[in-house]
Amino acid sequence: MAELCFNTMNRSAYLLGDEDPDLLGQIDAAAAAGFRLFGPDEFSIARFRREGGRVEALAERMQALGMRTYELPTLMVNDDRVTTRAEIDRLAEIARILRPDFIQLNMDSKVDERVIDELRRAGDVFAGLGAGLAIEYLPWLPEVCSIDSTRAVLDRAQIEGAGVLVDTWHFTHSADTWEDLESLPLDELSYVQFDDHPPLESDDLVMETLMRRAMPGEGVFELDRFCDLLRAKGFDGVVSCEILSEQTRSMALETFAERVYSTSRRYWP
């Protein structure tokens, strides 16, 4: 049975503005819903720390509830070397405490050799902390925008423990084909992020992905085909549940976490 991870981006400080993401409350709600893996986003962790919270308190709460950190979103690796290195160092400080399996990252610039060097640097830093790199491609990015383009970057970088993060949203709205997913070797697939979506209402993919996702089974994605294909390949890894929806953002944490768990578990029994 695939393990499910609760991803906090729906109530991230990145999206909530002045509203408190309530990371401790999200841990409690996720545990009560049945999650044993957690993915606290770095935007909310940064706010938690600014308001006097200790990262150790997050780790302690998870441990008390039988949970652990699986993914740590989000690191940006790009052609701004100074900012990239500062971000690597900042997330490394958090990772030393939370001990995630993966650092989720995006690459939002063209990928030249300088960017590859920074990606390797990130690989070295986080490998020393027991974490791999999971590159999440986004269909609107200039280069790392599909399974094939992500694999090409990984082939250039040759980083042990680095792989492709396949999100059902980005898979569906990118140039990816089912053949691309079929040809992705399991040892290059870090993990899956899982969600659904109604028909697009605009060509603003960023707005759509942040504001209009749906619970699995409540949209138009071919989720049964997606899951069947991965299972036929032998996938039994972790599925991170990342439903980003303005409609659900103000939902009670307990209700949201339970709905995310139950709708996702139907596809990953």
Q: What is the DSSP string of 107-126?
A: --S---HHHHHHHHHHHHHH
pLDDT at 1: 76
CA 91 vs. chain centroid, Å, equals 15
Helix/strand/coil for 67: coil
**Under 8 Å CB-to-CB from 156, ≥6 apart: which residues?**
111, 116
pLDDT at 212: 98
Q: Count the neighbouring beta carbons within 10 Å of the beta carbon of residue 110.
A: 12
Q: Count the neighbouring beta carbons within 10 Å of the beta carbon of residue 44.
A: 25
Rounded average pLDDT over 124-144: 98
Predicted structure pTM score: 0.97
Q: Indicate the DSSP class of residue 143.
A: S
pLDDT digits (tens, 9 = 90+) for 70-114: 999 999 999 999 999 999 999 999 999 999 999 999 999 999 999
Rounded average pLDDT over 102-128: 98
Q: Please say if the pLDDT value at position 124 is more than 80.
A: yes
Please give the Cα distance from 257 to 252 (Å, whole number).
9
3-265 CATH choice from 3.40.50.720, 3.40.50.300, 3.20.20.150, 3.40.50.2300: 3.20.20.150
pLDDT at 92: 98
Pick the closest to residue 161 from 125, 194, 109, 192 (CA basis).
Answer: 125
Q: Are 114 and 83 in contact (CB under 8 A)?
A: no
Question: Regarding beta strands 162-167 and 3-7, do their DSSP bridges make them parallel or antiparallel, or are they unpaired?
Answer: unpaired
- Which pair of tokens denotes residue 14? 């990145």
pLDDT digits (tens, 9 = 90+) for 194-238: 999 999 999 999 999 999 999 999 999 999 999 999 999 999 999
